[in-house]
Amino acid sequence: MSAREFNFDGLVGPSHNYAGLSFGNVASFSNVKSASNPKLAALQGLAKMRALAARGFGQALLPPQDRPNFRLLRSIGFTGSDAEVLSKAAKEAPVILACAYSASPMWTANAATVSPSADSADGRTHFTAANLNNKLHRAFEHEQSARALRAIFKDEKHFAVHDALPGTPAFGDEGAANHTRLCKDHGSAGVELFVYGRTEFDASASAPKKYPARQTLEASQAVARLHRLSAERTVYVQQNPDVIDQGVFHNDVIAVGNANALFYHEQAFADEAGALDQLRRAMGAVGADLNAIRVDTAHVPVADAVASYLFNSQLLSKADGKMALVIPHECQEVTSVARYLENLVAGGSVIDELIHFDLRQSMRNGGGPACLRLRVALTEAEAAAMHQGVVMTEALYHTLVAWVEKHYRDRLEPADLADPQLAIEVHNALEELSRILGLPGLYD
Ligand code: SUG
């Protein structure tokens, strides 16, 4: 059966700010407490969606989440009216207030892991909301992520949306950021590659020393079970703990795959040869040849890959069989990466085009083009069965630009999170958005 890949980009929420909440994510830590521009952030994201939709790529969006999370603030003892809760939290626990306000759901690669129907024993597309339990500000995203996914992928004949795994360190799950699907074409059975950072129940296994490994092997195995994947087409590979310690907090900061191509850095995996071996074997089972595009350290050091987000790119199949690499502007500013890319597209690789975007507002929190999207390969019947109000069109783009212009601030500093008016603005914006997207009841 033929299928088309849709990228569901996260629409940046009105409370986008820089709070330095992600230990191990270099950009988040370096930009802590600087002023953000939520309006620009949302417009940058929308410009990417519009351009890719206009090129004919399947493009949709996932809505922002309700912020601040008053339930979190009340559950830790802040009482009174909403305004009182905000003012007490701002005084006593400003970092937790920033967590409650984080617009981190914009990075939808972390919303869920997705397995297309061709891979699952029950012929349905499976989603498991990611528990993101490594970080307080992300650990409560899964409830609204599951709710939004259920609203969009409602038809249980085609879709199964699973709740997040138990929110405990043994099941640390970061969703599609540590999951890659390789295949001959999007519609036929593929190989699902799960990349984990550590193993909870194997004390002899290696792990990073400085920064956290957010994804466990146990979580990856649980997701594969829920999605009813075949063992011979499922591959588990350990991420190189040394690169996690250099700021590669998700596998999608050091590798990206599409169709039969895996674009990766020499140091991405703990055992590169073993990883490729397993992948080649599994891909043999689906009649596909792995096209391994390896980037050597000599050409691009890990630090440059992290600074430029070279691998946090989207690798998209074009109608002519070639692929385009969607990269952030930063790739042109890091000399080794700019040179590498120039040679890559000139050198007869399947990647023959670069598409650049300015995503600096998201990049300053460690979110590049690939973080901003969740991939869902859908057959024609499945695409018709999903909620259509989130599919990007020229008309929706213009409506959303006007909505952003109306509701978003162009400057947000840490102190602004104490302003009760901000909570009201976010609420009003989201209420209007649920009407625009045709998703009444999306928010409480
Ligand atoms: O989880 N940053 C996100 C970036 C997520 C990127 N996603 C992928 N690689 N797929 C994170 O570290 C920063 C928020 C702050 O500091 O305000 C943050 O959550």
Instruction: Write out pLDDT tens, residues 267-307.
Output: 999 999 999 999 999 999 999 999 999 999 999 999 999 99
Distance from Cα 340 to the centre of ligand 1, integer Å: 26
Specify the residue with its C-alpha closest to ligand 1, atom 10: 371
Atom of ligand 1 nearest to the CA of 21: 16
| Average pLDDT of the segment spanning 185-210 | 95
**For residues 10 and 149, what is the distance between their CA atoms, to the nearest angstrom?**
12
Catalytic residue among 142, 331, 371, 407: 371
Distance from Cα 187 to the centre of ligand 1, integer Å: 31
Atom of ligand 1 nearest to the CA of 22: 12
Please state the length of the chain: 444
pLDDT tens digits, one per residue of 86-133: 999 999 999 999 999 999 999 999 999 999 999 999 999 999 999 999
Atom of ligand 1 nearest to the CA of 24: 12
pLDDT reading at 141 higher than 90: yes
Atom of ligand 1 nearest to the CA of 252: 9
Say if CB 33 and CB 20 are below 8 A apart.
yes
Which among 9, 12, 18, 25 is the best mutation to test ligand 1's pocket, defined by most ligand atoms within 8 Å of the CB? 25
Distance from Cα 368 to the centre of ligand 1, integer Å: 10
Say if CB 287 and CB 257 are below 8 A apart.
no
Atom of ligand 1 nearest to the CA of 110: 10
Atom of ligand 1 nearest to the CA of 177: 10
| Average pLDDT of the segment spanning 216-223 | 98
| Average pLDDT of the segment spanning 20-30 | 93
Annotation says 186 is catalytic:
no
| Average pLDDT of the segment spanning 361-382 | 98
pLDDT tens digits, one per residue of 35-50: 999 999 999 999 999 9
Percent of residues, the chain, with pLDDT higher than 70: 100
Annotation says 250 is catalytic:
yes
Which among 30, 33, 107 is the best mutation to test ligand 1's pocket, defined by most ligand atoms within 8 Å of the CB? 107
Q: How confident is the model at residue 315 (pLDDT cuts 50, 70, 90)?
A: very high
Helical H segments across 334-374, by residue range: 335-346, 360-363
pLDDT tens digits, one per residue of 228-269: 999 999 999 999 999 999 999 999 999 999 999 999 999 999
pLDDT reading at 400 higher than 90: yes
Burial class of 296 by CB neighbour count within 10 A (0 to 12, 13 to 18, 19+): exposed
Q: Tell whether ligand 1 has an atom less than 6 A from the beta carbon of residue 177.
A: yes
**CA-to-CA dists, residue 180 to 27, 159, 262, angstroms:** 24, 19, 9
pLDDT reading at 7 higher than 90: yes
Distance from Cα 100 to the centre of ligand 1, integer Å: 14
| Average pLDDT of the segment spanning 134-163 | 98
Distance from Cα 159 to the centre of ligand 1, integer Å: 28
Among 392, 360, 440, which residue's Cα sits nearest to residue 40?
Answer: 360
Annotation says 174 is catalytic:
yes
Structure tokens belonging to residue 177: 């950021």
Structural domains in the chain? 3-67+102-436 (3.75.10.20)
Q: Tell whether ligand 1 has an atom less than 6 A from the beta carbon of residue 22.
A: yes
Q: Tell whether ligand 1 has an atom less than 6 A from the beta carbon of residue 20.
A: yes
**For residues 263 and 323, what is the distance between their CA atoms, to the nearest angstrom?**
11
Catalytic residue among 126, 137, 250, 407: 250
| Average pLDDT of the segment spanning 316-322 | 97
Q: How many CB atoms lie within 10 A of CB 395?
A: 8
What pLDDT sits at residue 443?
Answer: 95
Q: Tell whether ligand 1 has an atom less than 6 A from the beta carbon of residue 78.
A: no
pLDDT reading at 444 higher than 90: no
What pLDDT sits at residue 1?
Answer: 78
Amino acid identity for residue 2 in this structure: S
The pLDDT mean for the chain works out to 97
Burial class of 203 by CB neighbour count within 10 A (0 to 12, 13 to 18, 19+): exposed
Q: Tell whether ligand 1 has an atom less than 6 A from the beta carbon of residue 109.
A: yes
Distance from Cα 366 to the centre of ligand 1, integer Å: 5
Say if CB 130 and CB 110 are below 8 A apart.
yes
What pLDDT sits at residue 174?
Answer: 98
Say if CB 62 and CB 379 are below 8 A apart.
no
What pLDDT sits at residue 203?
Answer: 86
**Largest Cα–Cα distance of the chain, in whole Å?**
64
Specify the residue with its C-alpha closest to ligand 1, atom 8: 371
What pLDDT sits at residue 53?
Answer: 98
